[in-house]
């Protein structure tokens, strides 16, 4: 299998696959999940394809842009969610690249996807044990790993089908890229990378919000008192709501209750209640409340800090602008998806507009 593409064309692949990552992440964000770090992994499909298309350094750049873009768009850059995403994505990407480059056609995308999902989930479970659930992770791990195998197999099967039929994928591997740009991509990218006037009020306001959000996130993470942590979380949620951000109270409450419950499975300290013979201890309850407030508070503060937009300098900023431009094109192509020929319609979209 040919995995080299012509010099100067790596950015084209990075732009399109990164935009596809963000698009799939947006779809996945709308799917309810019981744990803040639990994901189906739709955005890993472009990463698997990229392992065949890109050398290591551009592949690593794609993974980094995927992480950064998800953190910026989802507002999770300063939260536990981003830490889980960083660790899981790094483990998954490393396994994916090693398998696709080391074994090639001897391992299918299905096998690659299952192995990568297991690596990602195992890494995130280790972090969850340390930062969120403690010893109670033993009750979460089996279904979490099992779900990862199922979803990994499903995504791998879908990727196999796309790779077998895609003209765009075949064109990249053969060294011939059909189209180098989407209509309107360069114009939009130019507008997005155009620097704001130094010292302008808008630029100062964005920088101030970003700094305040970072400080608020640090306070929520490191302040030990539950009452203060709760007050800071309430402040972050209020700022987000006042700034036009959307808050899903039922989702936040269910996630918080889940974190507290799993911490109660490792009791320590004074027993407060014993409903149905189950001991609720002060130490476990306090620890669960602290972790739940930290998860939700950091997420609120991060989303508020990033809601005004962040401009990145240099090549990274230019790539992010092109990615956002193609993402805009992808978002407008949802009506072109054909359920009877999903692979063909997605392939046509990736080839670019005529």
Structure confidence at residue 103 (pLDDT) = 85
Residue (of 38, 32, 262) closest to 150 by Cα position: 38
Q: What is the pTM of this model?
A: 0.65
**Cβ–Cβ under 8 Å, residues 274 and 197:** no
Neighbour tally for 87: CB within 10 Å = 16
Task: Report d(CA 22, CA 334) in Å as an integer.
Answer: 14
- 226-233 long-range contacts, CB within 8 A, separation 24+: 226/286, 226/289, 226/290, 226/293, 229/290, 229/293, 229/294, 229/297, 230/289, 230/293, 232/297, 233/293, 233/296, 233/297, 233/300
277: pLDDT strictly greater than 90: no
**pLDDT band at 20; cut points 50, 70, 90:** confident
Strand (E) or helix (H) holding 271: strand 271-273
Higher-pLDDT residue of 271, 316: 271
Angle at 157 between CA 151 and CA 163, to 5 degrees: 130
Q: Using H for helix, E for strand and C for coil, what is the string for 104-143?
A: HHHCCHHHHHHHHHHHHHHHHHHHHHHHHHHHHHHHHHHH
* C-alpha separations of 75 from 16, 79, 210, 278 in Å: 22, 9, 11, 37
pLDDT digits (tens, 9 = 90+) for 300-333: 887 788 766 655 566 666 776 777 778 777 777 7
Task: Report d(CA 43, CA 22) in Å as an integer.
Answer: 7
Neighbour tally for 341: CB within 10 Å = 12
Task: Report d(CA 351, CA 337) in Å as an integer.
Answer: 14
- Token code pair at residue 3: 């995995």
- Give the ranges where the chain is alpha helix by DSSP (H): 10-29, 44-53, 56-74, 80-102, 109-128, 137-165, 167-173, 185-193, 201-222, 226-242, 249-264, 282-306, 314-331, 342-351
Task: Report d(CA 76, CA 264) in Å as an integer.
Answer: 26
- Token code pair at residue 213: 């959000």
Lowest average pLDDT, out of 117-126, 154-163, 308-317, 322-331, goes to 308-317
* C-alpha separations of 239 from 80, 204, 233, 247, 282 in Å: 19, 18, 10, 11, 31
Q: What sign does the dihedral 31-35-41-47 (CA atoms) show?
A: positive
Structure confidence at residue 13 (pLDDT) = 87
DSSP 9: -
pLDDT digits (tens, 9 = 90+) for 38-86: 567 778 889 999 999 899 999 998 998 888 767 765 566 666 778 888 8
Lowest average pLDDT, out of 111-115, 280-284, 348-352, goes to 348-352
Percent of the chain whose pLDDT exceeds 70: 77
């Amino acid at each position: 299998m040919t995995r080299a593409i012509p010099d100067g064309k790596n950015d084209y692949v990075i732009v399109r696959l990164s935009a596809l990552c963000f698009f799939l992440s947006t779809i996945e964000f709308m799917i309810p999940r019981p744990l803040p770090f639990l994901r189906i992994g739709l955005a890993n499909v472009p990463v698997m394809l990229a392992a065949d298309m890109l050398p290591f350094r551009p592949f690593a750049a794609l993974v980094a842009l995927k992480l950064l873009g998800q953190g910026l768009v989802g507002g999770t850059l300063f939260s536990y969610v981003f830490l889980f995403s960083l660790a899981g994505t790094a483990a998954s990407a490393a396994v994916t690249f090693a398998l696709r480059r080391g074994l090639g056609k001897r391992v299918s995308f299905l096998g690659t996807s299952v192995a990568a999902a297991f690596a990602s989930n195992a890494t995130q479970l280790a972090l969850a044990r340390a930062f969120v659930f403690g010893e109670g992770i033993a009750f979460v791990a089996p279904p979490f790993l099992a779900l990862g195998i199922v979803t990994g197999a499903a995504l791998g099967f879908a990727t196999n089908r796309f790779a077998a039929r895609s003209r765009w994928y075949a064109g990249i591997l053969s060294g011939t890229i059909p189209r180098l740009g989407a209509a309107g991509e360069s114009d939009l990218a130019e507008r997005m990378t155009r620097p704001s006037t130094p010292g302008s009020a808008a630029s100062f306001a964005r920088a101030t919000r970003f700094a305040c959000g970072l400080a608020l996130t640090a306070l929520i993470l490191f302040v030990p008192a539950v009452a203060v942590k709760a007050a800071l979380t309430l402040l972050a949620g209020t700022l987000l709501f006042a700034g036009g951000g959307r808050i899903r109270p039922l989702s936040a409450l269910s996630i918080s209750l889940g974190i507290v419950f799993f911490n109660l499975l490792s009791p320590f300290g004074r027993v407060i209640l014993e409903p149905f013979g189950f001991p609720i201890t002060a130490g476990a309850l306090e620890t669960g409340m602290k972790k739940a407030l930290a998860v939700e508070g950091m997420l609120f503060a991060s989303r508020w800090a990033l809601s005004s937009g962040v401009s990145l300098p240099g090549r990274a900023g230019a790539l992010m602008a092109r990615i956002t431009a193609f993402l805009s094109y992808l978002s407008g192509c949802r009506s072109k998806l054909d359920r009877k020929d999903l692979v063909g319609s997605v392939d046509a979209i990736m080839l670019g507009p005529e």
